[in-house]
């Protein structure tokens, strides 16, 4: 069984609609695929219907934007109630923050690049969650950079003079909200030093105390040494380990099924979801 638990569609910053992501997953030989768009579950229905047609199992998820001491942290939530009021409110606040941040960055970029907000909106599909990838696409279209990778390595990096931090929840609070909504929280790429999204072992333990259940270990942004360390952390804290592509279509080099999750981890994920364990807030 081939399982990929982290993908994105045009509901956030991917380049394919949800149904197309599922079709691509089938072509890649996957048996199970999760759609985990940033701060939104709007792609779930389309993805679930497509998975049914393709004969794949669909896992509903969301990637929640968090901030810890100025460091961006991403939390994957699976099987939560998409109508839970507290979680819905938190995700709506994050999406609104993304829009405000994107506008501020456009204002900063405009004098040097000619970028306009209208340029960015041309790359946003429907009610998609707006993020830096849309700014990157607009910069590519204007010929300022060659691709998203160059944009994130230069103009849109956290070290750039154009960078504006996002207002986002603390990851411990986000874990609690996910558990209260009946979801299963897993930290995404926790050692991604390439993108400056690293959290230390003590911070991981604090999230576990709040109810976090798993670590995304096998990810292209993790070195072999980082993967080995995270597996040790997972064993010591009783967490299950996942692997995934973090697929964004043509938006990133990540390819579906380049990293996968062991079936035993999916079994633990399913068991926790079935229990609907609500961790105290």
Short-list 73, 78, 84, CA closest to 207:
73
User: What pTM was estimated for this model as a whole?
Assistant: 0.88
Query: Of 50-54, 109-113, 167-171, 182-186, which gets the smallest average pLDDT?
Result: 167-171
Would residue 17 count as lying in a domain?
yes
Per-residue confidence band for 48, with pLDDT thresholds at 50, 70 and 90 = very high
Does residue 277 register a pLDDT over 70?
no
Would residue 159 count as lying in a domain?
no
- DSSP letter string, the chain: --EE--B--TTTT-SS-HHHHHHHHHHTT-SEEEEEEET--TTHHHHHHHHHHHTPEEEEEEEEEEEETTEEEEEEEES--TT-HHHHHHHHHHHHHHHHHHHHHHHHHHHHH---HHHHHTT--TTPPP-HHHHHHHHHHTTSSSSHHHHHHTTTSTTSTT--PPP---HHHHHHHHHHTT-EEEEESTEEGGGTEE--HHHHHHHHHHT--EEEEE-TTS-HHHHHHHHHHHHHHT-EEEE---B-GGGSS--TTSS---HHHHHHHHHHHHHT-----
On whether both 85 and 105 belong to a single domain, the answer is no
Return the pLDDT at 109: 98
Residue 168 near residue 66, CB atoms below 8 Å:
yes
Distance CA(189)–CA(42), nearest Å, equals 23
Would residue 40 count as lying in a domain?
yes
On whether both 44 and 110 belong to a single domain, the answer is no
On whether both 15 and 31 belong to a single domain, the answer is yes
Give the chain's domain count.
2
**In CATH, what number is assigned to the domain containing residue 175?**
3.20.20.140
On whether both 144 and 178 belong to a single domain, the answer is no
Per-residue confidence band for 280, with pLDDT thresholds at 50, 70 and 90 = very low
Convert the pLDDT of each residue in 208-241 to its tens digit: 999 999 999 999 999 999 999 999 999 999 999 9
On whether both 200 and 255 belong to a single domain, the answer is yes
Would residue 265 count as lying in a domain?
yes
On whether both 265 and 132 belong to a single domain, the answer is no
On whether both 56 and 117 belong to a single domain, the answer is no
Would residue 218 count as lying in a domain?
yes
Q: Under 8 Å CB-to-CB from 270, ≥6 apart: which residues?
A: none
Return the pLDDT at 253: 87
Residue 64 near residue 36, CB atoms below 8 Å:
no
On whether both 63 and 138 belong to a single domain, the answer is no
Return the pLDDT at 110: 97
On whether both 78 and 107 belong to a single domain, the answer is no
On whether both 143 and 175 belong to a single domain, the answer is no
Instruction: Measure Cα distances from 190 to 53, 64, 107 in Å.
Output: 34, 13, 31
Convert the pLDDT of each residue in 186-214 to its tens digit: 999 997 655 555 688 999 999 999 999 99
User: What is the arrangement of strands in the sheet containing 57-68, beginning at the earlier edge strand?
Assistant: 3-4, 32-38, 57-68, 71-78, 184-188, 214-218, 240-243
Does residue 278 register a pLDDT over 70?
no
Instruction: Give the largest CA-CA distance in the chain.
Output: 54
Distance CA(1)–CA(61), nearest Å, equals 19
**Interior CA angle at 147 toward 146 and 153, to 5°?**
100
Domain range enclosing 240: 3-92+166-273
On whether both 268 and 142 belong to a single domain, the answer is no
Q: Average pLDDT of the chain?
A: 92
The two three-digit tokens of residue 271, written as one number: 């068991």
**In CATH, what number is assigned to the domain containing residue 120?**
1.10.150.650
């Amino acid at each position: 069984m081939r399982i990929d638990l982290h993908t994105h569609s045009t509901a956030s910053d991917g380049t394919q609609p949800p149904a197309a992501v599922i079709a691509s997953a089938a072509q890649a030989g996957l048996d199970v695929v999760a759609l985990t768009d940033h701060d939104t579950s709007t792609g779930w229905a389309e993805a679930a219907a497509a998975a049914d047609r393709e004969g794949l199992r669909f896992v509903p998820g969301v990637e929640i934007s968090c901030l810890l001491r100025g460091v961006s942290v991403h939390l994957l939530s699976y099987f939560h109630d998409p109508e839970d009021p507290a979680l819905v409110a938190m995700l709506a606040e994050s999406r609104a923050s993304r829009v405000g941040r994107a506008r501020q960055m456009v204002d900063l970029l405009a004098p040097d690049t000619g970028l306009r907000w209208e340029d960015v909106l041309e790359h946003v599909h429907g009610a998609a969650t707006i993020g830096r990838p849309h700014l990157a696409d607009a910069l590519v279209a204007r010929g300022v950079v060659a691709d998203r990778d160059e944009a994130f390595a230069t103009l849109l990096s956290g070290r750039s003079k154009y960078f504006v931090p996002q207002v986002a929840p603390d990851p411990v609070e986000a874990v609690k909200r996910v558990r209260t909504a009946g979801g299963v929280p897993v930290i995404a790429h926790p050692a991604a030093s390439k993108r400056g999204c690293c959290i230390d072992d003590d911070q991981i333990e604090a999230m576990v105390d709040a109810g976090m259940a798993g670590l995304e270990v096998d990810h292209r942004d993790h070195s072999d040494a980082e993967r080995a360390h995270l597996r040790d952390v997972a064993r010591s804290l009783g967490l299950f380990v996942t692997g995934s592509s973090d697929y964004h279509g043509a938006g990133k080099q990540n390819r579906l099924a380049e990293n996968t999750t062991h079936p035993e981890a999916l079994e633990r994920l399913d068991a926790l979801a079935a229990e609907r364990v609500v961790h105290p807030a």
